[in-house]
Every structure is written in structure tokens, then in C-alpha cells.
Amino acid sequence: MNATRAALALAVALLAGVAAAHHSPAAFDQTKEIRVEGKLTKFAFTNPHTYITVETARADGVPVSQEVEAGPISTIQPLGLTRDALTVGERVVVRANPSRLGPGHTVLGLDVTRADGRTFPLFIGSNSVRAASAALATSIAGTWHPTLAGFRSLNVAIPSWPLTDDGRQKLTSARRDNTTTQSECIPAGVPQLMLYPVALAVKVDAKTVVFDIDWLDAQRVVHLDAAAHPANLEPSLQGHSIGRWEGDTLVVDTVGFLPHEEGIGFGMPSSGGKHLVERFKLDADRRHLDYDVTVEDAAYLKEAAHHSVQWEYSPDLVPSGVKCDLEVARRYLRD
């Protein structure tokens, strides 16, 4: 019990007080594009960032080693870039956004093209499109892929929610400073967590529904065999979820959250009083899942907020299975 409380105390400290500065696309000039051509000398296939290094030359012919930051495996693997897609030693051309700090600094990769002409996206915002599967689902069980449009829609929607003064101040501060707990391999909370465009596997049995989200090792368990939340609930990162079926719709009620600097998402915090009601329903076309969430948190919301998106059925999508590398996540705290 003492060990559990110590772990919870550490988690609270990390979540509530240490929203460390973390690299984001804001560090790059996304109004400009550069071309990096040369020999691939390094390919670090890691989470939460992938990196490639290209041996190239400056305009004056002086050889340089250019580091390129790419997205996490969890988001770029569904777009086609796998561990075996690139080979050290081959010639590549990288399209990228330059660093705002100028030449000699890491650039943000948009896509990489091999000598055979095949191109792979390196960043989820590089206008890449993942082809939807033609397979049909029979229930909410299976592997799904939340859409990029749905992910972005929450980012746009949150500032228009009925925020308290404290909520608006914290949101503004977090977005200005590009702070995120993901630099400690701690995922954002729900609902943002449920909207990441990564492999999201849903497993259903008589007692539980389990959501395995391929982002920073996140998992949620919904208890179907409990009519109420237990008394003296220990707070946790994902809270305690109970669920019930209303026809073919899964309704999930979740409480018992730890305070979190990104507990709602995109810089929006949550308190220990956050309460979620989520609904999951297979769409009539059987290729989409309708996800609907209502969020209550008196510390940061004047009234309940609501958001709806869709997931795409993607039985062919394989989760990365790669754990978050804390050293990679923290690297820009040192730089």
C-alpha cells in the first residue's frame, strides 16, 4: 500500500506540476520547405519520435550531417513507414520544414523518397492520406484508426468550450509554451487519447471491454460486471470505468482520475473531479465507429462539454508494439 501511494504521489507530481517543455511543430518554420538529398546514415525507429540522419552537402559543397525529426512510429507506420522501409547506406531525398533556429539544427521531415521512387510520409501533418479498409465490422470489437480530421477537430473545439477563468488561463499558457507531459512518456488524457490517429484495438468479452491504444503504452479497461464505481477509489491516470450496453451502443462512465496537465487534451488540464460519459456505436456502414463523449470538470469547465468523431475500421493495421523511449522523449529538455 505504501508503494502504491508513493507511485501515485510521483504520478501526481509529474502530471500536475511538471508539464515539461517538449519539441513540437512550432519549433519549425512550416511556411518553408527544404530538400535534403544524400546518403542515409542513421534510422532510429523509436517512440515518441523517429529520427533519420542524412549525409549531405551545403551549398558551398562542404559535407554535413543533417538530422531529420519524424513522427512517432504509432502515427507514421499506419501511413507506410515501417522499420524495414529504409536501409542505411541508400540514397534518399527528404522534404522538410527548416528549424526556426537556422542551419545546423534538426529539421522536421515531411516525407522521404528512396532511389526507386517510393515515398513515405514522415509526419502526420504532411498531407498524407491513409487508404480506408473495405472490410466490414460486425461489432465495436476489432482494430480501429481514429481519423486525423477527428483528432484535429478536438484541438479546434476546446477553446470554444465553456471554460472557467482558470481553465482558459491554463489552456492559453500551455499552448503558448508548447508544454506537454508526453516528454515524460505520459499520454494525454481522455478524450484526446481516444482520438489519436493510431492503431486502437478493442477487445470485448462478457466482463470487460479493453481499449489498447498504440500511443505511449496506453490502455483502458471498462468493467461490464459492476453496477457502480467502488468506494474509496484509488485515483489513476485512466480513471475507473464501468460500462453497460444500450442495445448495440456501449455506454461508459468513468471517474477517479488523477489530476493531469493534459487531462482533457491539447493543453487543457483536468482535475480529480473529471467525469466522462462515452458512447461507442458501430455505424450503419459498418466501416466506422461513432465515438461520442461528454466531459464534466467543475475546476475547468462551467458546464458539460460534448464532442463527437468517427473511427475507421482497420483490421489490417498492426500496432507498433514499440514502447515509449524516455531518453528520446526528454531529449529536447536538454537541447
Domain boundary among 89, 115, 130: 130
Based on the domain organization, do 36 and 13 belong to the same domain?
no
Give the CATH number of the domain where residue 122 resides: 2.40.50.140
Are residue 125 and residue 139 in the same domain, yes or no?
no
Same-domain status, 96 and 156: no
- 231 and 295: one domain? yes
The reply to whether 161 and 12 lie within a common domain is yes
Do 157 and 269 share a structural domain? yes
Residue 68 lies in a domain: yes
Residue 325 lies in a domain: no
In a domain, 330, yes or no: no
Whether residue 14 is predicted with pLDDT greater than 90 in this model: the reply is: no
Whether residue 109 is found in the same domain as residue 231? no
Mean pLDDT of 55-61: 88
pLDDT at position 17, please? Answer: 37
Mean pLDDT of 96-101: 92
**Taking 60 as the threshold, does the pLDDT of residue 10 lie above it?**
no
Q: What is the pLDDT of residues 178-202, one digit of tens each?
A: 777 888 899 999 999 999 999 999 9
Which tens digit of pLDDT belongs to each residue from 300-317? 999 999 999 999 999 998
Do the domain assignments include residue 92?
A: yes
Both 257 and 142 in one domain: the answer is yes
Secondary structure, 3-state, the chain: CHHHHHHHHHHHHHHHHCCCECCCHHHECCCCCEEEEEEEEEEECCECCEEEEEEEECCCCCEEEEEEEECCHHHHHHHCCCCCCCCCCCEEEEEEECECCCCCCCEEEEEEEECCCCEEECCCCCCCCCCCCCCCCCCCCEEEEECHHHHHHHHHHHHHCCECHHHHHHHHHHHHHCECHHHHCCCCCCCHHHHCCCCEEEEECCCEEEEEECCCCEEEEEECCCCCCCCCCCCECCCEEEEEEECCEEEEEEECECCEEEEEECCEEECCCCEEEEEEEECCCCCEEEEEEEEECCCCECCCEEEEEEEEECCCCCCCCCCECHHHHHHHHHC
Mean pLDDT of 139-168: 96
Confidence of residue 127 (pLDDT cuts 50, 70, 90): low
* Domain membership flag for residue 144: yes
* Residue 232 and residue 203 in one domain: yes
Is 156 within a domain? yes
Q: How many domains does the chain have?
A: 2
Question: Are 98 and 205 in a shared domain?
Answer: no
Domain boundaries, position 65: 32-130
Same domain, yes or no, for 235 and 249?
yes
Q: Is residue 141 part of a domain?
A: yes
* Residue 323 domain-assigned (yes or no): no
- pLDDT in the model for residue 124: 78
